Amino acid sequence: MATDLRLPTDKIVRPDKDRFLDEENPFEAMMSRFDRAAELLDLEPGLYKVLRHPEKQIIVSIPVLMDNGEVEVFEGIRVLYNTSRGPAKGGIRFDMAVTLEEVKALAAWMTWKCAVVNLPFGGAKGGVVCDPTKLSIGELERLTRRYTAGIIQTLGPDSDVPAPDVNTNERVMAWVMDTYSMRAGHTVTAVVTGKPIEMGGSLGRREATGRGCMIVTKQALNHLGLNIKGATVAVQGFGNVGSVAADLLTKEGAKVVAISDKTGGYHNPAGIDIAGAIKHVREKRSLEGLKGATPITNEELLQLEVDVLVPAALENVITSKNAAKVRAKVICEGANGPTTAGADSILDEKGIFVIPDILANAGGVTVSYFEWVQDRGGYFWTEETVNQRLTEIMVRSFEDVLKLSKQHKVNMRTAAYMLSISRVATVHRLRGIYA
């Protein structure tokens, strides 16, 4: 018999729909969407409480021998939010702004993101409070290894699989993998993803997030009866996600009319030479001085009349203050949390079709999953196979979310949360709560 998780109705905790939301707080923003989806799903109160709490929070002190011979102590965090569907998956960031609250929010986010694309993973996140620009390579390596040693009990291909995040990269992942392998006594490539190709990384991983954005944008345009050929696009952020999305959308026949980075934006209604812009950034490290386009501000870029807007830089760029001025037909959220909860209803009223971050940028974690699968199988796929399987998952996930959004007459974001929460909840119900 299935476990009955229902509590007497007077004990039911229901989110207060009108409670004050701090627009700038990503945890609040994410949890307010979680609450709305949980309410629509009529989630049992017990499960609601379980899913609102992280499973495990680890805080470690990391002593590091600095180059000057002194010992410095850093704080490291790892949060496993939910592992009911499989090993925890989530990046490690090195940043002064790392806090337990933020890591918890990002770990929850990973849980919903993995579930929306139906990967057999839970969600996690980790970080070390440090300024990596002030550390030498040797210090960075010792910090990475000692942090890894501090959380080694939870790490493992079957339990917790990190990846790169803010200020960490392939090289850091290689150190994590090596430290873990030294303890295990043999090489364990599947303990992290985002590794160098030479040591178990996956082809196509670097482009995966931008490719995923391109795939779901095509699906959205198709759903709206718009043609990708000639569709106009503005992309905010020209880093890994934004530049790949712009490049692949151009290759699909779209016309990217504006791009930007932290130095400002560039607009050309006749279309920007994306290959030229990528070359410019490779040589000059930013878009500054890009020829063949008119300089505009990042704020102006968000307000351009285009078919598709791809915010692929920062969180909180579309807010209750500027949402009314957005004139795109489709927003594809390449970045995490670019739209605040306060902006959602304004975009809805304007009839703008938003592909939410947990779906739009899930291409990266999907190819991380492929990397983990390839490492475990010891058999590596061609880039073509990676891209084809990524396409299948992104198309299927888009369709799953769209179907739910039509069925419940809700926007794509609420539908994406409903889908992921119901997937996690189903596994909890099947497994039963060990309470």
User: Which residues lie near ligand NAD (CB under 6 A)?
Assistant: 209, 236-242, 260-262, 298, 312-314, 334-336, 361, 364
At 164, which helix (H) or strand (E)? strand 160-164
102: which 2 tokens? 């933020």
289: which 2 tokens? 């001085």
Distance CA 127, CA 144 (A): 10
CA 382 to each of CA 102, 112, 173, 371: distance values in angstroms, whole numbers, following the listed order: 36, 28, 22, 12
- In the bound state with ligand NAD, the residue whose beta carbon lies nearer, of 125 and 218, is 125
Contact assessment for residue 34 and residue 412, using Cβ atoms and an 8 Å cutoff: no
- In the bound state with ligand NAD, the residue whose beta carbon lies nearer, of 200 and 363, is 363
CB of 422 to ligand NAD, least distance (A): 23
Closest CA to 307 of 237, 254, 244: 254
> In 10 A of CB 372, how many CB atoms?
26
- In the bound state with ligand NAD, the residue whose beta carbon lies nearer, of 180 and 238, is 238
CB of 209 to ligand NAD, least distance (A): 4
Closest CA to 240 of 310, 318, 319: 310
Instruction: Compute the chain's Rg from CA coordinates.
Output: 22
At 129, which helix (H) or strand (E)? strand 122-129
- In the bound state with ligand NAD, the residue whose beta carbon lies nearer, of 188 and 281, is 281
- CB-closest chain residue to ligand NAD: 239
Please pick, among 113, 125, 218, 255, the residue that the annotation labels catalytic.
125
Distance CA 48, CA 70 (A): 47
CB of 314 to ligand NAD, least distance (A): 5
What region, left, alpha or beta, does residue 396 occupy, with left being phi > 0 and alpha being psi -120 to 50 degrees?
alpha
Q: What are residue 211's phi and psi, to 5 degrees?
A: -65, -40
At 309, which helix (H) or strand (E)? strand 308-311
CB of 167 to ligand NAD, least distance (A): 9
**Can you state the percent helix, strand and coil of the chain, rounding each to 5?**
45, 15, 35
- In the bound state with ligand NAD, the residue whose beta carbon lies nearer, of 236 and 414, is 236
Q: What is the widest separation between alpha-carbon atoms in the chain?
A: 68
- In the bound state with ligand NAD, the residue whose beta carbon lies nearer, of 158 and 299, is 299
- In the bound state with ligand NAD, the residue whose beta carbon lies nearer, of 262 and 403, is 262
CB of 344 to ligand NAD, least distance (A): 18
CB of 204 to ligand NAD, least distance (A): 12
Q: What are residue 294's phi and psi, to 5 degrees?
A: -90, 130
Q: Is 125 annotated as catalytic?
A: yes
CB of 113 to ligand NAD, least distance (A): 8
Q: Which residues are catalytic?
A: 125
